[in-house]
Structures are given as C-alpha cells and as structure tokens.
Amino acid sequence: MSMLNIFDVSGSAASAQSQRLNTVASNLANADTVAGPDGQAYKARQVVFQTTLMGEVGAAGVRVSNVTEDQTPGRRVHDPKHPAADAQGYVTYSNVNPIEEMVNMISASRSYQNNIEVMNTAKSLMLKTLQLGQG
Amino acid sequence: MQLRLTQALDFQSQALQLRSERQRLIASNIANADTPGYQAREMDFARALREATGAQAVAGEMATSNPQHMAPVAGARDEAELLYASHSQDSVDRNTVDLERERHSAVENAVKYEATLRFINSSVRNMLDAMKGPNQG
C-alpha cells in the first residue's frame, strides 16, 4: 500500500525540518552568549540531512545524520570591564550570524509546510478511496 | 461472464495503483528538497501503465521466442521503473529537486487520482444499475 508510506516519508521530513528549526532557535537564542557551559563561546550548530529509505524503493524519507558545529572564530569585542574579558581585554561572543539563521528559519518553515500539505493531500485521497463504491 | 464484468475495473485499478505510487514518489522528492546530493526521481507514467496492463512488455522481462516457452502473465511486474528527473538548475549541494515542478505534479497527480476514483465509482454504479430488476427503481 504505497499511499500509507507517504505519511512515513512526509512525517520523517517534517520531523527533520523541526529539528532544523530547533537548532535555529538555539542559535538565535545564543547569538549574544559570551560563554557556554564549557566556558568557551557558543558555536552555531547546523543539522545535516540525509536520505533514508522508508521500506520501499520509491519511498525516500529524510533523517538528520548529524549536527555540526561551525568552527569559525567568534566575534571579538574590546571591553576590558566585561567579566568575561581575557588578558588583552577582549570578549569573545558566539559566531552565530543572525541573518543566516533567519534565512534558515524561513526555509525550514516553508519546507515543513510543504510536507504537511503533501500529507493533507494524501489523507484526503485516502479518505476518498475508502468511500470507493459507495457513491 | 464474471471475468468480462470486472475487466472494466482492472484497467482503472492498475491506474489507481500507479497514481498512488507516483504520489509517493512526489512526496519523497518534496521531503528531500533540502537534502544535499539527493537526485529527484520520476516515473514514465504512460509506459508504466502499458506495462501494468500488459500492453507492453516489461523492460528486462523474458521473451517468448519458442512456442514451448511459458508466456509471462500480463501485468506481472514489480514496481514501476524509476527514472531520474532532469534538473533545470544546478545547485551547490547537488540536489536536483525542482520544488515548483514537484508541487505542480503533486496537484496534477492528486486530481488524476480522484478522476480515476470517479471512473471506478461510475462503472460500479453502472454495473449495479444493470443488475437491478425493472421494478427496483
């Protein structure tokens, strides 16, 4: 029954997109963080998507294969009065780029909507199939 | 006679099955619109339908070159052969999903799926009407 697989496929994509939205949220929340729990500045995180087979050949779902950390050095601001300032008086902020994150957020939310729409279409088609021969 | 009766439904039910396979394929493409390296898949619907209804030999099927060979059963097929959609633009992450085209195909396929459902419904209704006696309204 290939129609039922659509829910697996689109569901996996929707959950992958919501995970992406989650990392965007934590990146944006930490855009001005000076230090994480390990004492280092927060590093922006990105999810990596990977195609995964959902049972049959034509059904390709998505999963998050891993979460990478952006290794570019964080923004350094000269502020000797700051409690987190180093010996030279510089404070290292996180390397989150809020503009990139906003673009990422819009893209994730659009893709999420697309997948929900696919599920809705499949649902209405299946409901009509269930009424086959009655009308 | 019973065979003749359901034969009209056979074609439409094969078409329905293929439409649902295609819908799943489009769902996979839309799901993977952001996956790096994913190649969009597509099926040749007309060819798949001809193969499913036995009007055309399935690709890679054994040929009957000798009268003593057993003929393959019509419609004996695995899933439709999947092709790779040709992409309109290159992208840096080698993803070839064209979201506009996929959405267009999704809507088109859904409408045609419903059309097939209506064809089946109307032939069922026709058959039921034919079975009714003259006094049954």
Per the model's pLDDT, the better-predicted residue between A11 and A54 turns out to be A11
pTM listed for this prediction: 0.82
Per the model's pLDDT, the better-predicted residue between A66 and B9 turns out to be A66
Q: What is the residue-averaged pLDDT of chain A?
A: 89
Q: Do B79 and A56 touch (CB under 8 A)?
A: yes
Residue B1 located in a structural domain: no
> Across the interface, which of A2, A13, A56 has its CB nearest the CB of B31?
A13
Residue B2 located in a structural domain: no
> Across the interface, which of B30, B79, B114 has its CB nearest the CB of A118?
B30
Residue B42 located in a structural domain: yes
Q: What is the DSSP string of A35-95?
A: --TTSSPP--EEEEEEEEE-SSTT-EEEEEEEEEE--SPPPEEE-TTSTT--TTSEEE---
Domain range for B123: 13-131
Residue B17 located in a structural domain: yes
pLDDT surpasses 80 at A56:
no
- Give the per-residue pLDDT at A1: 61
Residue B119 located in a structural domain: yes
Q: Rounded to an integer, what distance in angstroms lies between the CA atom of residue B129 and that of residue B113? A: 24
Residue of B24, B78, B125 to mutate, interface with A, max A Cβ within 10 Å = B24
How many CB contacts within 8 angstroms connect chain A with chain B? 100
**pLDDT interval class at A48 (50, 70, 90):** very high
Residue B82 located in a structural domain: yes
**pLDDT interval class at A55 (50, 70, 90):** confident
Relative orientation angle of helices B99-131 and B2-31, to the nearest 10 degrees: 160
Residue B27 located in a structural domain: yes
The total of structural domains in chain B comes to 1
- Give the per-residue pLDDT at A37: 63
- Give the per-residue pLDDT at A104: 94
Whether residue A94 contacts residue A42, with contact meaning beta carbons closer than 8 Å, is answered with yes
Query: Which residues numbered 95-124 in B keep a CB inside 8 Å of some CB on A?
Result: 99, 103, 106-107, 110, 113-114, 117, 120-121, 124
Q: For chain B, how big is the Rg over CA atoms in Å?
A: 20
Residue B69 located in a structural domain: yes
**pLDDT interval class at A36 (50, 70, 90):** low
**pLDDT interval class at B74 (50, 70, 90):** low
Q: Do B117 and A132 touch (CB under 8 A)?
A: yes
Q: Distance (Å) from the C-alpha of residue B16 to the closest C-alpha of chain A?
A: 10
